[in-house]
Every structure is written in C-alpha cells, then in structure tokens.
Amino acid sequence: MSYETSALCCCEYYDRNQERSHILTCCCDCEDLDEAFESLITGNQVSQKHKKGILLTMQNRFRIPWKGGAKQIAFDAILPIVIIPIMLLLASISLWWTFFSFTTVAIFLLFISNFLIRAVHHTKFFFVWTLTSVIVLYLIFEFIVIPFLEILLEENIALSMFIFGFVICLYLMKTRIKSISSIRESEAENGTSGQYYLQCTQCSICQLKIPDRDHHCVWFDCCIGKHNQCLFVLAIFFAIIALLYSSNLTLTSVCHPFTLYKTILLPDDCSEVYKLFELGLSFVAAVYSLIIAALLLVLLFHQILLISLGITLRDWTRLPLTKKLCLGLTMKRPNSRGICQNWKIVMCWTKNNHSISNQM
Amino acid sequence: MLRQFLIILTIVIIFIAVYFPTRHARHYNYIALQNIANELDLRKPIEIDYNLKNCTYHGVVLNNEDINIDSVYVTKTFNKTFIGGEYKPSRCLPLIKTALIVPYRSRPNHLNIFLNYMHSFLQRQNIHYRIFIVDQNDTSPFNRAKMLNFGATEAMKHKYNCLILHDVDLIPINTGNIYGCTKVPRHMSSSLDTFRYNLPYLTLFGGAAAISSEHFKKVHGMSNKFYGWGGEDDDFYRRLVQNDLEPCRFPPEISRYIMLPHEKQKASENRFKLLEESEQNQKTDGISSLSQNYIVKLEDLYTHIIVS
C-alpha cells in the first residue's frame, strides 16, 4: 500500500487503466497487440477495436522521463515535427528525390488523414503540421536564404508582416470561441436562448455548440462559423501572400532571375540548385511553399464562392455533381440574403451585432 | 517582473539579430546621374589632332538605354578595330583612354560572346579603348588578381591611364554605364542579375571596377597570393581605403550587369587567412613583385597576354 501512494519516479506513470507502470516495460503486456497478432496468424481480419486499442496503448506508453512522473507525448502530434524536416532534407538531394519525397508524403497524408480523424478524435496532427511547416519554412528563409546576401531588409520586413498577419488571424480565430460562449451566457440570462440555440450545431471534434457552424478545420484545429469566417478567409489570404512572396524571394536568390516588364523579378533557370546543399534546401522549401499556396488558393476561391452563395460547406458537399458544376447557383438557398448581405454578415461580425443579424 | 524583463530582452535581441542590416543586401550611395559627367576623369590625349572637337560624355550617360538581354547572344556589327583590339573614335577627340583588362582561362564561349558584345557596346561611348585578355596558361588554381596585375602592367606600358578590371562573364546592359574612370576608383557591377540586382555588401569591389593607373600604382596593384575563387577583391578594397581612396558607384539604373551562365565555383578555403596576412605585406606584394615571363600576341579583336 505504501508503494502505491509514494510519489512517482521520473520514469513512472499511471497508464490507461490507472495502474502504475514504468517506461522500460513499454514493449511488454499489450492485450490488443497479442489478440491482433493472433488473428493475423490465424488468417482472420484484425478488428477495428484492436487496431484502436493498439494505437491508444502505443500513444499511452510513448513518454519522456520527467520530474514527477513520465510525461505523455501524443504520438500523432510528434509525427509532423519528424516528417517535415526529413521530407525537405531528402528532397534537397536531387530532382528525383524531390518528386519522390513530396509524392510519398502526399500519399501518406491522404491515407493517414482519414484514419486519424476516425481513430484519434482530438488529434493535433494537422495543427502541428501547420505550425511545423510555418516554423521550418521561416527558419529556412531567415537562416539559409537571407545569408546569401541577396534580399533587402525591407523585403524581409514585408514578409515578416504577412506572416505576422497570418499568425494574428489564426490566434483571433481560435480565441473568438470565448466570445461565443459569453454571448450564450448573456442570452441565457435574458431568456432569449430559445431563438439562439436553434442555430447552433454541435461540433463532434471540439465538443462545443457553434452557432452558424460552417465546418471544422483540422489544419487550424478550430471550428469555423459565422463568428470567425472572415478571420479564416483573411488568414488564408495572408498565408497565400506570404508563401508566394517567400518562394519568389527564395527562387530568385537561388536560381537565375529575369525581369518581367522591367519590374517583377522571376526565376528562369534553376538547373544548378542541387549542387550545393543550402541552395537545394532553399529551393525545395520554395517548391513546398508553392504547392501549399496553390492548394490554399483553391480553398480561398471555394470559401469566397460559399460565402457569396450563403451556404455552408456541409450544404455544398451534399449537392449533386451537376449542381456543383453550375457553382450551386441553381440550388435553393434558404439562408442566403443576397451576395452583398452574405458578405456583410461574415465580414462585420461582432459580439454586439451578432443577434441582430440573426433576427433579420 | 524579472521574468517579463528577460522575455522582452530576448525578443529584442532576436529581433535585432534577425533584421540586422549586414545580413541583407544593401542600398548604397551613388553619384547622381546629372553629376557623372563632372566626376569623370577626362584627359587630353598626348597626340592632339587640332581638326577634331573634344568628345562629350554627358549625353552618353543621360541618354541611357536598357539593352535587351536576348540580344547579348546575337552577332553584332561594329567598326573594324586596329589589330590588338584597339579603337579610337574618328569623329571627335576622345578624352577617355581605357584598357579593358580581362583575366581569362579556357572559356572560349564566354570570350566570343564577350568580345562581340563589348566592341559594339564600347564603340557607342566615344572612348579610346583596347581589350587585353590575360590568359593564365598553367595548371595551378586560377589567380584573378595576378592576371589583372599582368594586364595592368602591359596596359600602362601603352600609356592607358584608365584601367578597367573586368570579368569575362559580366555583360553591361545599360548604354549609359560609361567605361571610363572617375576621380576616385569606381565599383561598376553594383547591380548584378544573379544577386537579384542588389548589392550584397557595401565593401564589394569584384566583378567590374575602374581605377586610374596612378591610383593602381599608388596601392601597388593587387595581391598575387589569392589562388582560387574569392578574397582578392576584398583585399584590393582594403588597399584602396588605407590609401584614402574610398570607391564610388554609379546609380543602379545605369549599373546593371548580367552574368553569363556557368557553374558556381566553390570559394577557396584559405581566403580569410590570406586576407589577414596580406595586410602586412602590401608594399612588397603587388605589381612590383611580378615576374616578367609573359608573351603578348596581337589578335584581331584583342591583345592576348599569355602568362605561364
């Protein structure tokens, strides 16, 4: 009994079933793994329950020694911190490695995203991926591209401004949830909650009731509703500008540049970038930025379309293909108030005018 | 309180470290376009032809045009030069006598493009010029500064009072970039395309530079000890500054250059060590310590100096 109540040593922890365990025993004693193995050997299919069990046990046992008991690290949250640098380092070897490593990671992402969203409910994988990308790309720019001495101070400052804009939008987007809950409280006090709650949708991932919910963005780990949609669009906008600008600065530094209409500097010959490690890494980071920027651009246009139409992403996914091809113009849109009003509601959202716009 | 102070202090330090000006390309001071003609080092030639008026250079600078980069590779027509690549304008009396000294080793493609382009480029500027190609004909690493010293010595024998130290892969693309000397030495290639048309650092003196022969003698020429790529131009800059010859530059809109494509060379590893060493023996290391074993051959478009 005295053993049970004594303080944890740095390598000990309480496991899933509230039992005391030690890090070094991490590879022993996993019922799910045993059973999964058994069914594999006997030729049966491994059940979803066992798969999930293995994953959870793995996650639970993946710990680092820490004062006052070993700390748990979410396995899926660590993954991007490992994958992104490795992907960029491998890609900087040669052109074929670039193709290989980018396609591998893209395919891996496609497969793992479905699995992760289902299996690990509150996975931080995608959000950590976003953060790691931003940090790694910024570090490469500041400490590899800038020392080539080809970028002016004001260009560096301008890029930092765009990144700062993105980060601020992201931060506000995530904190506006608090404004929402304060509104809910005040409306509950005033007794107007009935009208308000009608519009709310429960988000299965963040476990919150979000009014006028659009969708849950896993990459920002944040629910998007009417309250933060304008910040969402702004964040994507800043991200696209920052990515395009940084990749242009990088590519014109490491490649041979030419001037278009005597004003815009663009790269034209990048054949020698893989000959030096620094050049290769900068080039690959720029290509990665361009790919993300292209994807974000599609997302931005989609968001603009949805806001103009006054429908949510959920409505859009339910549309048949023929109506999607007509850009959704032919569908019935009960919540739409015309293109100008739709944009006004999204762009001018504040705590005060929120309930007014709902009553209109 | 202390913790907040420390956090703010770290943020400020990081901020300064990231945005420190020397980590970036630089804006530089330059002579305004209107003042360039007054700053030029113009001299009457020794053999004066009294029938001719003096050439003027004001218009050359002010009527600056950008040359289309694609046309650099096109074969051009130009007036026939004297043997040895010398040219004198016949309509007026040139007040600028320039030796274009180009260190060179085994890049025939670049040389062809360079000669073809430069003759047509220089003949528009009303200057008396001659092109010296200094060819390092041995197997040791390329020594740009030594080749320039040989070229300068030979040019000074022919009484050229303005020396332009020029790389074979640099092509000026502004007609207003006058190939003459100013009253102080001048760094010419301050807006190079491979540097995004920016100047990497303020003390850069490589690529193309103009210096009068008196000044070149005053600083004892360049150091002969820099083998491999890099360092010799920084050393030359130091020599100039120590002799109170702070170099000047022209505005970026007339100082644009393109670099002919070639592989980037690896910088020589001992260039920083050499830079430190060469400060002490400036007076002994330079044009005075050159050997005399070189051959001069007169070609149609250039004077070929073969150093072995």
Return the pLDDT at A1: 41
pLDDT band at A353 (very low <50, low <70, confident <90, very high): low
* Chain-chain contact of A257 with B19 (C-beta, under 8 angstroms): no
Half-sphere exposure of A99 (CA within 13 A, CB side): 2
Q: Given CB atoms, is A265 within the 8 Å cutoff of chain B?
A: yes
pLDDT at residue A156 is higher than 60: yes
Whether the CB of A256 is below 8 Å from some CB of chain B: the reply is yes
Tell me B131's DSSP state: E
Structure tokens at A242: 């920052």
Residue type, B265: Q
Mean pLDDT value of segment B59-77: 85
What mean pLDDT is predicted for residues B121-137? Answer: 89
pLDDT at B27 over 70: yes
3-state helix/strand/coil string of A156-209: HHHHHHHHHHHHHHHHHHHHHHHHHHHHHHHHHHHCCHHHHHHCEEEECCCCEE
| Closest CA relative to residue B258, chosen from B100, B7, B73 | B73
Measured between CB atoms, which of B19, B23, B66 is closest to A147? Answer: B23
With bands split at pLDDT 50, 70 and 90, how would you rate the model's confidence at A2?
very low
Of the listed ranges A23-37, A271-285, B118-132, the one predicted with least confidence: A23-37
Of the listed ranges A148-152, B197-201, B291-295, the least confidently predicted one is B291-295
Q: What is the pLDDT of residue A194?
A: 47
pLDDT in tens, B92-120: 888 888 999 999 888 888 888 898 899 98
CA A258 to CA A252: how far, in whole Å? 8
**Residue type for A38, please?**
E
Of A237, A207, A212, nearest to A226 (Cα)?
A: A212
Mean pLDDT taken over chain A = 79
Closest-CA residue in chain B for A139?
B18
**Which residue type sits at A251?**
L
A201 or B60: which carries more pLDDT confidence?
B60
CB burial of A230-259 (b: ≥16 within 10 Å; e: otherwise) equals: bbbbbbbbbbbbbbbbbbbbbbbbbbbbeb
Q: Which of A178-182, A352-356, B1-5 has the lowest mean pLDDT?
A: A352-356
Decide if A151 and B18 are in contact by the 8 Å CB cutoff: no
pLDDT score of A17: 67
Q: Which residue of A has its CA nearest to B67?
A: A262
Please give the pLDDT value at position B93: 86
Answer yes or no: do B196 and A252 touch at CB < 8 A: yes
Query: Which residue, among A138, A140, A150, would best test binding to B if mutated, counting the most B CBs under 10 Å from its CB?
Result: A150
CA distances from A337 to A301, A310, A360, B12 (A): 20, 7, 9, 49
Give the lowest-confidence range in A243-257, B9-23, B130-144, B287-301.
B287-301
In angstroms, the separation between the Cα of residue B6 and the nearest Cα of chain A is 22
C-beta separation of B85 from B128 below 8 A? no
pLDDT band at B42 (very low <50, low <70, confident <90, very high): confident
Residue A96, token pair as written in the block: 């074929």
User: A169 and A288 share a domain?
Assistant: yes
**Does the distance separating the beta carbons of B201 and A275 come in below 8 Å?**
no
Cα–Cα distance measured from residue B250 to residue B184, given in angstroms and rounded to the nearest whole number: 12
Q: Which of A145-149, B47-51, B142-146, B211-215 has the lowest mean pLDDT?
A: B47-51
Cβ pair B197:A262 closer than 8 A: no
pLDDT band of residue A7 (cuts 50, 70, 90) is: low
Of A178-182, A185-189, A270-274, minimum mean pLDDT range = A185-189
Enclosing domain of residue A53: 12-73
Q: Is the confidence at residue A356, as pLDDT, over 70?
A: no
Q: Is A253 on the interface with B (CB under 8 A)?
A: yes
Q: What pLDDT does residue A357 have?
A: 47
User: For residue A271, what pLDDT is reported?
Assistant: 81
pLDDT score of A339: 72
CB atoms within 10 A of CB A284: 25
Q: Please tell me whether residue A229 adopts helix, strand or coil conformation.
A: helix
Distance CA B109, CA B119 (A): 16
**Token representation of residue A206:** 């963040």
**Which residues of chain B are at the A interface, by a Cβ-Cβ cutoff of 8 Å?**
18-19, 21, 23-27, 66, 69, 193-198, 200-201, 261, 263-264
B69/A275 touch (CB, cutoff 8 Å), yes or no? no
Would you call B172 helix, strand, or coil by DSSP?
strand
| A12-31 average pLDDT score | 67
CA-nearest residue to A271 within chain B is B263
Asked whether A113 and A129 are in contact (CB, 8 A), the reply is no
- According to DSSP H, which parts of chain A are helical? 2-5, 31-41, 48-61, 75-91, 95-119, 125-140, 153-190, 193-198, 229-254, 277-309, 313-318, 321-325, 339-347, 354-359
Tell whether A69 is within 8 A of chain B (Cβ): no
Residues B208, B212, B217, CA angle at the centre, nearest 5°?
105
Residue in chain A nearest B257 by alpha carbon? A258
Q: Choose the CATH number for B28-261+270-307 among 3.40.50.720, 3.30.1490.100, 3.30.2130.10, 3.90.550.10.
A: 3.90.550.10
Distance CA B246, CA B228 (A): 26
Q: A197: pLDDT confidence band, cut at 50, 70 and 90?
A: very low
For β-strands A63-64 and A71-72, DSSP reports them as: antiparallel
What pLDDT does A29 receive? 62
Q: Which residue has the higher pLDDT, B4 or A21?
A: B4
**pLDDT classification of A297: cutoffs 50, 70, 90:** very high
Question: Is the alpha carbon torsion for B118, B171, B163, B44 positive or negative?
Answer: positive
Mean per-residue pLDDT, B83-98: 86
User: A143 in contact with B at a CB cutoff of 8 Å?
Assistant: no
Task: With both helix axes pointing from N to C terminus, report the angle between A125-140 and A153-190 in degrees, rounded to the nearest 10.
Answer: 160
Within-domain flag for A267 = yes
Contact: B195, A150; criterion CB under 8 Å: yes
CA–CA distance, A256 with A279 (Å, rounded to integer): 12
Question: Do A254 and A353 sit in the same domain of this protein?
Answer: yes
Domain match, A61 and A189 both: no
Report CA torsion sign: B231, B105, B147, B67. Answer: negative
Instruction: Say whether both A209 and A304 belong to one domain.
Output: yes
Which residues of chain A make contact with B69, given a CB cutoff of 8 A? Answer: 258
SS3 B222: coil
Please give the structure tokens belonging to residue B130. Answer: 């001659």
**Touching check for A264 and chain B: CB below 8 Å?**
no
Confidence of residue B50 (pLDDT cuts 50, 70, 90): confident
Tokens of A68: 């006052």
Q: Which two tokens stand for residue B132?
A: 């010296």
- Give yes or no for a contact between B286 and B223, defined as CB atoms under 8 angstroms apart: yes
The string of DSSP codes covering B248-271 is B---GGG-EEEEPP-PPPPBPTTH
- pLDDT for B203 beyond 70: yes
Q: Report yes or no: B139 and B82 within 8 Å, Cβ to Cβ.
A: no
Query: B41 pLDDT band (50/70/90 cuts)?
Result: confident
Split into its structural domains, chain A has a count of 2
User: What SS3 state is found at B157?
Assistant: helix
Quote the minimal CA–CA distance from B26 to chain A in Å.
6
Q: CA dist A99 to A284, A287, A296, Å?
A: 10, 11, 20
Q: Is A263 part of a structural domain of the chain?
A: yes
8 A C-beta contact, residue B95 and residue B138: no
* A316 occurs within a structural domain: yes
Q: Who has greater pLDDT, A43 or B136?
A: B136
Element holding B86 (H helix, E strand) = strand B86-87
Write down the pLDDT at residue A359: 45
Tell which wins on pLDDT, A146 or A53.
Answer: A146
Domain stop point among A56, A73, A90 = A73
Residues contacting residue B229 through CB under 8 Å, at least 6 positions apart: B142, B265, B266, B267, B268
The answer to whether residue A279 is domain-embedded is: yes
* Residue for token pair 């007054």: B38
Nearest to A32 by CA among A16, A58, A3, A53: A53
CA angle centred on B231, ends B230 and B234, rounded to 5°: 125
pLDDT of A354 above 60: no
A69 and A151 housed in the same domain? no
CA distance A258 to chain B (A): 7
Q: What percent of chain B has pLDDT over 70?
A: 95
Q: How far, in Å, CA of B219 to CA of B232, rounded?
A: 14
Chain A residues whose beta carbon lies within 8 Å of the beta carbon of residue B261: 256, 269
Same domain, A172 and A270: yes
